[in-house]
Amino acid sequence: MLSLIVRAGRKLCLVPTLSGLDQMDGLNLFGSLVAPWQWQHTHEGILQLLQDDKSDCDHKLRESWRRFCWDNFCAQNRRDSRQFALEPYTPARYRAARRLFGHTSKHGRAVLTGAANSPSCYQKMYEHIATAGCGMCRDCLVFPDWYHLTWKCPCFAAGRPPEPADAIQLRLAWPPSDADPDYNDAVLSHMAAVRAKVWTFAPSSRGRRTHD
């Protein structure tokens, strides 16, 4: 879902949305049907398909789709999803994340879309249990989870920016709207470098990798 939300960009437009009955059902994502060709959305207001300007309709549909994707991501039984369950979708944060997505590496894009996994996560995925012991810093007492690797592990201390105070930036590098752009870039670059290193050691034997 996060991949959908940041990749969608401005491509979602009204015309293809109305190309068939299935897509018409998709308009229910916008909210409640209140009159013929009119829908009411909690956040986006009223969409009047036959009266509103096309660009306004497109914008409202895009925003409602992004909210839908974010809410679905937060509803999943994932550690990061549960962590953000109370975090609302905000257009400014989405725009900042989309800008970063357009100028980063494949590992940066993995971070932004929630596809950067830790060794602990891979252990859970393939061995069904995570055990203590960081293979990077050799500390046998810590779990090599994403937080440890990105913000605590001595092996990634070089060039590491200060730890973000914002929970979403801490995990996904999606910056809050008031954050310094240079700092946002530094956070994503650092997390992408961690992901690149972890990816080197990720399970890869014939079909095990799930990303890229």
| Chain residues 105-134 in contact with Zn ion, contact rule CB under 5 A | 134
* Residue closer to Zn ion (CB basis): 29 or 137: 137
* Residue closer to Zn ion (CB basis): 100 or 134: 134
- Tell me how far, at minimum, the Cβ of 156 lies from Zn ion, in Å: 8
- Tell me how far, at minimum, the Cβ of 159 lies from Zn ion, in Å: 16
Contact partners, residue 86, CB within 8 Å, separation at least 6: none
* Residue closer to Zn ion (CB basis): 121 or 153: 153
How far is Cα 24 from Cα 72, in angstroms, rounded to an integer? 20
| Chain residues 141-170 in contact with Zn ion, contact rule CB under 5 A | 153
- Tell me how far, at minimum, the Cβ of 116 lies from Zn ion, in Å: 16
- Tell me how far, at minimum, the Cβ of 160 lies from Zn ion, in Å: 12
- Tell me how far, at minimum, the Cβ of 165 lies from Zn ion, in Å: 22
* Residue closer to Zn ion (CB basis): 142 or 167: 142
Q: Residue 5 interacts with Zn ion (CB under 5 A)?
A: no
Size of the site for Zn ion (CB under 5 A): 4
How far is Cα 81 from Cα 79, in angstroms, rounded to an integer? 5
- Tell me how far, at minimum, the Cβ of 136 lies from Zn ion, in Å: 4
Single residue of 47, 116, 136, 187 touching Zn ion by CB under 5 A: 136
* Residue closer to Zn ion (CB basis): 91 or 133: 133
Q: What single string gives the DSSP state of each residue in the chain?
A: -HHHHHHHTT---HHHHTSSHHHHHHGGGG-EEEETTEEEETTTEEEETTTS-HHHHHHHHHHHHHHHHHHHHHHSSSHHHHHTTTPPP-HHHHHHHHHHHTTS-HHHHHHHTT----HHHHHHHHHS---S--TTT--TTS---HHIIIII-GGG-TTPPPPPSSHHHHHH----TTS-HHHHHHHHHHHHHHHHHHHHHS--SSS-----
Single residue of 4, 29, 46, 137 touching Zn ion by CB under 5 A: 137
Give the footprint of Zn ion on this chain (CB under 5 A).
Answer: 134, 136-137, 153
